[in-house]
Each structure stands twice: as structure tokens, then as C-alpha cells.
């Protein structure tokens, strides 16, 4: 579709078409769609279409899109998956804003790891990207969580824990990686742990 048709599709009666048009504007880098996205977002009633519009606006015009992405990562009604996607997008735009605005939501998702392990793993991996900007109290808490998760039955949680602890430069994290290397049964995770140890050795 040409840019004009995509912009017109933002007002299509079908929410799916509106959302897909917004995504296409971003993937095709059609900056002329920015004004139409700005106008469409406040009036969009469909959650998914609104999410796609906000993410597309943030891609095309970060300054205009950032406030909408912040609201998306904080809106728990959207669900953990969308909150995490928005947080990751904001991390690329402004890591400090992501910590301030999305960090609490991501930490709350991690707290639900017993009932929602896959989303908790994604949230922990997202927080690992933000680790240098997090408050010391959050780092200490998530370090403890990650050390415990190294021995979880859930593969994704163990992988996320390794991701967090690889970034974590503390001696406690280093010792935990060493212990897990001796007990991990999965070949892929053993390889990941080995790379983590090698990375630490290089940077020491």
C-alpha cells in the first residue's frame, strides 16, 4: 500500500486494519504518517490497535511517542506481554525513563513467576538490560530472585536468571554462576553459563 492509503487506513472501521496500517507506517519508515498517528491515538478505542499506533509513533517520532509508550508499559489491563513490549521499546528510546516508568511494572511481573513463568522470565530479561540504571535496592532484590531461579524447573526462568547474573558484576552473582555451572543439566544452558563465566574472566 502507498503512504496515502496507509494513512487513510488509520480511520478504517476495522480495528485490525487500523493497527496493521500503523505497523506498516513504522516498518516502511513513513514519517508523513506521524501527524495522522498523533491524531488517531487519543481517539482509538481498541486496545491492540492503540498499542500498535503508539509503538509505531514512538518508532517514527520518539519525542511524540514516548508518553504513549510510558502509559502502555504502566497499563496492567493490557497484560504482561504488552507491558513488556512497551518497556523494551522505551528502553531503546530512554533507559532512564524506562526504569522510572516501567521498572515497577516489570518487577511486579517477576513477582508472579510462580503463576506466569514465561512472562516473568521476559520481564527479568528486560530488567537485566536496565540493570545499570536501577536503584541499588532493586538490583539486590532481583539478584536474590535470579540466584534462586538458577535452580528453577522452568527453562525460561533459568535462562533469564543467567542473563541477569551475567550483567550483575557482584561477587555474589559470580559465585552463583559458578555453582549453577556444576549442576545445570541442559546442554544449551550449560553453554550459556560457560560463556557467562568466560565473559566475566575477560572483564576482570
Provide the number of structural domains found in the chain. Answer: 1
Q: What is the DSSP letter of 153?
A: S
Q: Which helix (H) or strand (E) holds 105?
A: helix 95-111
SS3 category, 166? helix
Q: How many CB atoms lie within 10 A of CB 43?
A: 8
Q: Are 104 and 137 in contact (CB under 8 A)?
A: no
For residue 26, give Cα distances in angstroms to 67, 79, 160: 17, 23, 29
At 107-165, the pLDDT tens digits run 999 999 999 999 999 999 999 999 999 999 999 999 999 999 999 999 999 999 999 99
Indicate the pTM of the whole model. Answer: 0.86
At 58-110, the pLDDT tens digits run 999 999 999 999 999 999 999 999 999 999 999 998 999 999 999 999 999 99
In a domain, 27, yes or no: no
Q: Are 177 and 189 in contact (CB under 8 A)?
A: no
Q: What is the DSSP letter of 12?
A: -
The per-residue DSSP string of 108-146 comes to: HHHHTTTT-HHHHHHHHHHHHHHGGGS-HHHHHHHHHHH
Q: Are 105 and 79 in contact (CB under 8 A)?
A: no
Greatest CA span in the chain, whole angstroms? 59
In a domain, 8, yes or no: no
In a domain, 197, yes or no: yes
**Can you give the length of the chain in residues?**
204
Query: Whole domain around residue 121: which residue ranges?
Result: 61-203
At 27-66, the pLDDT tens digits run 999 999 999 999 999 999 999 999 999 999 999 999 999 9
In a domain, 116, yes or no: yes
Amino acid at each position: 500500500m502507498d503512504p496515502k492509503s496507509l494513512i487513510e487506513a488509520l480511520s478504517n472501521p476495522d480495528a485490525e486494519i487500523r493497527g496493521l496500517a500503523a505497523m506498516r507506517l513504522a516498518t516502511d519508515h513513513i514519517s508523513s504518517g506521524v501527524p495522522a498517528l498523533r491524531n488517531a491515538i487519543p481517539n482509538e478505542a481498541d486496545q491492540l490497535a492503540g498499542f500498535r499506533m503508539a509503538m509505531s509513533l514512538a518508532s517514527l517520532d520518539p519525542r511524540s511517542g514516548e508518553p504513549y509508550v510510558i502509559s502502555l508499559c504502566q497499563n496492567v489491563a493490557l497484560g504482561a506481554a504488552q507491558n513488556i513490549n512497551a518497556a523494551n521499546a522505551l528502553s531503546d528510546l530512554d533507559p532512564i525513563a524506562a526504569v522510572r516508568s516501567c521498572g515497577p511494572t516489570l518487577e511486579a511481573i517477576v513477582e508472579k513467576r510462580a503463576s506466569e513463568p514465561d512472562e516473568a522470565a521476559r520481564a527479568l530479561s528486560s530488567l537485566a538490560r536496565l540493570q545499570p540504571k536501577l536503584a541499588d535496592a532493586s538490583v539486590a532484590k532481583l539478584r536474590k530472585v535470579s540466584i534462586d531461579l538458577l535452580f528453577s524447573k522452568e527453562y525460561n526462568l533459568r535462562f533469564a536468571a543467567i542473563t541477569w547474573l551475567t550483567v550483575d558484576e557482584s561477587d555474589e552473582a559470580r559465585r552463583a554462576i559458578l555453582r549453577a555451572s556444576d549442576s545445570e543439566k541442559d546442554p544449551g544452558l550449560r553453554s550459556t553459563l560457560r560463556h557467562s563465566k568466560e565473559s566475566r574472566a575477560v572483564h576482570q
